Amino acid sequence: MIELLDRAPCGFLTFAGDGIVVDVNATLLEMLSAERDKVVGQPFESLLTIASRIFYQTHLFPLLKLQSTVEELFVTLRGSDGSDVAMLTNVARREENGIVLYDAVMMRLRERRKWEDEIVRARRAAEEANRAASGLLSMMSHDLRTPIGSISGYCDLLIMGIRGPLTEPQLGDVQRMKKAAEYLLGLIEDVLNFARLRSGQVIDLDMKTLDTANVLMETEALIGPRMDQAGIEYHREGCSGDVRVIADPDRLQQILLNLLTNAVKFTPAQGKITISCARDGDHTVISVADTGRGIAADQLERIFEPFVQAKTASDPASKKGFGLGLAISRGLARRMEGDLTVRSEVGGGSTFTVRLKAPAST
Amino acid sequence: MGESVLSRNNVKVFGNGEQPMLFVHGFGCDQNMWRFVTPAFSDDYKIVLFDYVGSGKSDLSAYNKTRYANLDGYAQDVLDVCHALQLENVIFVGHSVSSMVGVLAAIREPSLFAHLIMVGPSPRYINDPPYVGGFERRDIEELLDTMDKNYIGWANFLAPAIMKNPERPELAQELTESFCSTDPVIARNFAEATFFADNRADLPKVTVPSLILQCSDDIIAPTSVGEYLDRELPQSTLHLLKATGHCPHMSDPEETIAAIKSYLSSATSAEIELAHQ
């Protein structure tokens, strides 16, 4: 090596096409506490730790063969005293008198490695926690669903009088128990759905061309009584047989039911909920607009985060649920190659928009 | 299904022969790694190349962590490709971990395959005395750590590189291309599926004849592993290559090609002889 390279503050090493080291600078020898003759003439691979040898064989070597150069790869060399010497490495191929040579430049990582270790540790811990949380959610929900299902079933037996007649107050109590059990089952279903979406499990989708009028008819049948009870005015605009959408019917209904339930929850009596359908280029958009209190700008994206609900301290009813509905709905919309977004301003109501693919023929 | 598998796995088919040779890449790279050997077979065979979901130019959105948590999911990719192209009498050529993927696929559907050619195979990488796989668990954990560190600079790793000195003239056409690109999280899962696998019990179930190409001085698949495979696999042939390292099809393609051709021609003569008896 020329004197300049020997004095440079980084390691230089050249190995031949067969992997045998042909030259090395003094700096690298010093880093490895090694004599020149223990490095030159040896396979480059033999200077690496076992893990880095695997990485060399599975990544570095194939990449060098295919693209002749690699940059900023992390490898660990083994010092002659057995210590690990972490390096950031660039390697490039050249030819000299018809002979293939690979030149490697190596920067020793000391402080930076500590930070990188910390990043890797933190990421692993986060992944682990995430996995554990998803597993727990899913297990807990399964375990809860069965006994609550039994409670609901036995309530039905009592309500139907199969175990003998109930007095009026007893019947009222059992009906309230049944309602509470069903509410719990709904929550558990949300948690299971969410855990499935988050863990990336395949959700079977039965994508079909749907007529928005039909989809809404079924959804309205489910939500209509609650709107009447809450004294809310309901309008439907443009959702006819002509406006069609490609979606899984059950999943789309789940999304719309969630949006309408939220709208009912956040809209005061005498308020108005409008659902509208329209074609927009290759897509169909279905919007649910309410005249509720609206959502502050800093909350707009947060409401799609799991376990987050819009701040509604004054309204105890709105605290019901786990805050998973919108996270699930957006997840489902995206699985169907669409999206769910929101526009809102405080005092001016909110509009949630589902955007899904439209069939070519409409 | 057929069409979607072809795009999902970035399937490439070429060559003038009838009998398919399915070349399957290993962990860390993609179908590009076969480019030094496939031209030698394209006159006589139908060459089929693909990328596993999660590797190369496959459809990353089709990746499913559960399916690819072990080698069965990768074997399903192999079978999916065979079915999509309606392949029969397939000569399966698998590098490294894909040798065991081929074993799993051939156990599930033996009638699809004529031969399994294994380049640098190992049924288990971690030592389990008296079995010697070559590694301790901590070596593999350190490898995962090395991969994680490389993810920090992954953008560079995957960036399309200008090919300055291509080793083969035909590569000069492709001035910029990203090789072996893999999503970092998927690559890590693949590493775990590979290096924590134990397929020793599957070997005796293979009914398809096989060739084991064993490299000299291969840290990933030591010679003792090649000998173990030869003992455990019914109808196997062990061929020791002079090529060193783990990628003889890249470091010494000529020797690798010659070994495969010699095996296939002797296997064909044996079949003809059998047919005449």
Q: By CA distance, what is B246's nearest residue in A?
A: A57
Contact check, Cβ <8 Å, A67/B64: no
Residues of A in contact with B244 (CB under 8 A): 18-19, 43
| Preceding amide of B130 cis, omega within 30 | yes
Could you read off the pLDDT of B266-277 as tens digits, one per residue? 987 777 776 666
Mutant choice from B65, B167, B183 vs A, greatest count of A C-beta within 10 A: B167
Least Cα distance to B122 among B140, B149, B109, B110 occurs for B140
What's the mean pLDDT when you consider all of chain B?
87
Strand partners, A74: A88
CATH number at residue B255: 3.40.50.1820
Could you read off the pLDDT of A196-250 as tens digits, one per residue? 776 666 567 888 999 999 888 888 888 888 888 889 999 999 888 889 999 998 8
Contact check, Cβ <8 Å, A68/B167: yes
Measure Cα distances from A35 to A20, A25, B204 in Å: 16, 11, 49
Could you read off the pLDDT of A57-92 as tens digits, one per residue? 998 898 888 888 888 888 999 999 999 999 989 999
Q: Which of A273-277, B62-66, B247-251 has the lowest mean pLDDT?
A: B62-66
Q: pTM of the prediction?
A: 0.66
- State how far the Cα of A200 lies from the Cα of B66, in Å rounded to an integer: 9
pLDDT score, position A321 = 63
Contact check, Cβ <8 Å, A67/B153: no
What's the mean pLDDT when you consider all of chain A?
86
Measure Cα distances from A255 to A50, A193, A258, A260 in Å: 52, 12, 5, 9
Share of chain B above pLDDT 90, in %: 70
Contact B259, B41 (CB under 8 A): no
Query: Once rounded to an integer, what is the mean pLDDT over residues B123-138?
Result: 95
Residues of B in contact with A114 (CB under 8 A): none
Q: Which CATH superfamily is domain A3-109 in?
A: PAS domain (3.30.450.20)
CATH of span A208-357: 3.30.565.10
Catalytic residue flag (residue B218): yes
Q: Which of residues 205-264 of B touch A (CB under 8 A)?
A: 218-220, 244-247, 250-251
Indicate the pLDDT class of residue B233, thresholds 50, 70 and 90.
very high
Q: Which domain holds residue B254?
A: 2-276
Q: Which of residues 98-127 of A touch B (CB under 8 A)?
A: 100, 116, 119-120, 123-124
B269 to chain A, minimum CA–CA distance in Å? 35
Q: By CA distance, what is B136's nearest residue in A?
A: A50
- CATH 2.60.40 holds for A114-198: no
Please state whether beta strands B46-50 and B20-24 pair in parallel, antiparallel, or not at all (unpaired).
parallel
Measure Cα distances from A2 to A6, A11, A13, A151 in Å: 6, 13, 12, 84
Indicate the pLDDT class of residue B74, thresholds 50, 70 and 90.
very high
Domains contained in chain B, number: 1
Contact check, Cβ <8 Å, B245/A50: no
Could you read off the pLDDT of B152-186 as tens digits, one per residue? 554 344 433 333 334 443 443 343 344 465 677 78
Residues of A in contact with B145 (CB under 8 A): 51, 120
Q: By CA distance, what is A58's nearest residue in B?
A: B28
Indicate the pLDDT class of residue A27, thresholds 50, 70 and 90.
very high
Query: Once rounded to an integer, what is the mean pLDDT over residues B235-250?
Result: 94
Residue A188, both tokens: 């558990």
**pLDDT greater than 50 at residue B8:** yes
Burial of A204 (0-12, 13-18, 19+ CB in 10 A): exposed
Q: Which of A45, A94, A199 sits opposite B165 (nearest CB)?
A: A94
Ranges in chain A annotated CATH 3.30.450.20: 3-109
